[in-house]
Structure 1
Amino acid sequence: MAEKMQLNELEVWDGNMAASQALRQAQVDVVAAYPITPSTPIVQNYSSFLANGYIDGEFVMVESEHGAMSGCVGAAAAGGRVATATSSQGFALMSEVLYQASGMRLPIVLCVVNRALAAPLNVNGDHSDMYLGRDSGWIQLDAFNSQQAYDLTLMAFKIGEDHDVRLPVMVHQDGFITSHTAENVYPLSDDEAYAFVGDYKPKNAMLDLAKPVTYGVQTEEDWHFEHKARQHHDLMTKVFGKVQAVFDEFEKKTGRKYNMVEEYMMEDADVAIVALGTTVETAEMVAKTMREEEGIKVGIVSPRLIRPWPFEQMKKALANVKAVACLDRSSPNGALGMLYNEVAATLYQNDNKPVINNYIYGLGGRDFTIDHAKEIIRELDANAKAGKLTTPLQQFVGLRGPKLSFY
């Protein structure tokens, strides 16, 4: 029996500690892991908890991130509650096995500390790995700070393990800006957290020898299409309700409210920024300032749920604005950014079609500053007043040297 850890009502944790404490409180059966910056402290903390008797489970140190997710797939298929963590190149090495996990309907929780992808080599945060995983069939949640990294990791188990869902879940946080920044976090007690997550109830466990099952079968053209269509159908029809139900239950327990699409000062907004991660809190602060100082009615919209894409919630959030800026913290490599593409496709279905443009920013950990946000908001205001783009469709913000813009 694992020993309980006595926590204070208020702890000062960075995002990595917050995530590892949530894994500990969920009493994960197996963590198979290979360390990579900046996510290493999550699994390092977890191994310390195990060594000190706070966990009744297994920590499996493997030879690579591919091996880590493979170990998680095996343990989850066997019938265990399973989790791990990774970043960047490790996430890329896992990518083959991500599809195995979702295709086998294994509710693994993956804490992703977002970091740039090489080359050139960079250990700092951007959303390249987050974007890489968006079509892998995993549910994806995004935390903007350490408290949310803790809360969403607990909620991820409850969402993914629901028998109507049975899909793996990623919880994203920004590398170093969240993962290594100490902030106030209000944790649940061990008993409260475990009671919220609940006992793990496996389905189709390979170690249930009375009910033999097969995993990873070969389907070819006979059934592959049907399998993938069913997985997509369940993501698009079952997950939204389950996510909202878990958010609602968590709010009743803690008073902390989560939405699939978060909105800030959108009630009367003429223009809006759409952003992810730690950028959201910076944008919110600047939006308040710009309303007070320059009279620009700007609001902030941030998808908490990235996959499945919250189509209806995003349509509603942006239904009445005149101009939208989509901020993508990942190199588009010959395209418009992911957020731009998702938002533009969503708003194409609205009667109101605002002017939309795309800002690429913060690659490799480059700061997103207050001045950057102010400049974007002023350009949004100009677009709204003109009823058309007054700037290029896609711009790179905070870039040294000549300003780059496209389209």
Structure 2
Amino acid sequence: MYHFLFVPLTIGLGIFVAGLQTAWHRTGKEHYLRLTKFFGKLFLINFAMGVVTGIVQEFQFGMNWSEYSIFVGDVFGAPLALEALLAFFMESTFLGLWIFGWDKLPKRLHLATIWAAAIGSNLSAYFILAANAWMKHPVGYVVEDGKARMTDLWAVLTNSTALAQVPHVIAGAFIVAGGFILAICGYWWLRERSDMWRSTARAALLMTAVAGAVVVATGDSSARLMYEQQPMKLAAAEGLERDTQGAPFTIVPGLEIPKVLSLLSTHDLEAVVPGTEDLQRRFEQQFGPGDYRPDQAVVFWSFRVMLYFGMGTVALSVLGLWLTRRKRPLPGWFARALMLALPLPILAIIAGWLLSEVGRQPWTVAGELLTASSVSPGVSLTEVAISLSVFTLLYGVLAVAEAVLLVRHVRKGMEETPSVPAEREPVLAY
């Protein structure tokens, strides 16, 4: 979850920065260049923190989850290798060229580097989410000698769960980035009342609203896939204990809308949605004794935090588009609301990750490998507790450093006369 704080902001902010530089390239207006450099530095701070926190995950697979790694290595390793060798190398290489090429590369070539880096970020997300989707809905494999062997890479990369999950998560990332940009625009609008911040806010409002529409559309397909592939997660998210025909959607405990859950899950008002207790009995018959229900409270409330906070951010963006129509300025109260709303999309996407991972329990790989069977047998509880405590403290320090750097840069503002990419083709010297 901590690593995932930085991932969505990197995904969305990279595309936004590339769009700003494209606007400067096409119009030649200096304020687009200043905005590119301003948000580009925020993007780089966040990218660096994401890399640092992501490295730890690779070590965890082998050190704390060796039994899991042994079982899934042949399958899970393929998309992870593609992510590292193709997406991340592309992202980091072209980002380096963008950072150091401002006064060395031609304008078009320099613009291409930020687009390549931003596209690399999104490709990286695709491969990671494809690997994660396989854990929820394993396809394209066989189990031989107690290990999963991949038989079809294409099936893994085009898993129906991945095809629904990837656009949903990436659109959520754009909502997070949009909320971040809007909070900054609100802060500077209150200080300067400049049309530059109004137009930047309009662009971020539009990005957030469009991403919200994608989230709603992909959320619908995700709900139907959950009904087919992860019925226990769906039942836990709705607090549904018994198989129910025309199942209601629970807004909060005690407040329900009849038949809406059946409609969302199957597009049929009278469809039967299985409950946790009935599914528990079926899973015991299929997989043997055990508790196959995830943590009810975590799954139930994480789903609602994701839904309400995420849609609240989107609703705020739609309201902002209406308030700023026909070149109207941002109202002061709305600028303050944008600043106060900054935590909403962040909490929403973290809650979505909680729903995704806790809702799959007690499985690491659905139907194949239990979480209890995935841990390293040679690692003691004490060793896990010590390492986890150390990383928690270290990550706490890094979180403070990240916040201080971001706030300091936002308060500092933009460069007055930023350097520009070279106008002529560079001369290659040997």
TM range (shorter): under 0.3
Which has more helix, going by share of residues?
2
Q: TM-score, normalised by structure 2?
A: 0.23
Greater RCO structure (CA 8 Å; 6+ sep) = 2
Kindly name which structure, 1 or 2, has the bigger radius of gyration based on alpha carbons.
Answer: 2
Q: TM-score, normalised by structure 1?
A: 0.24
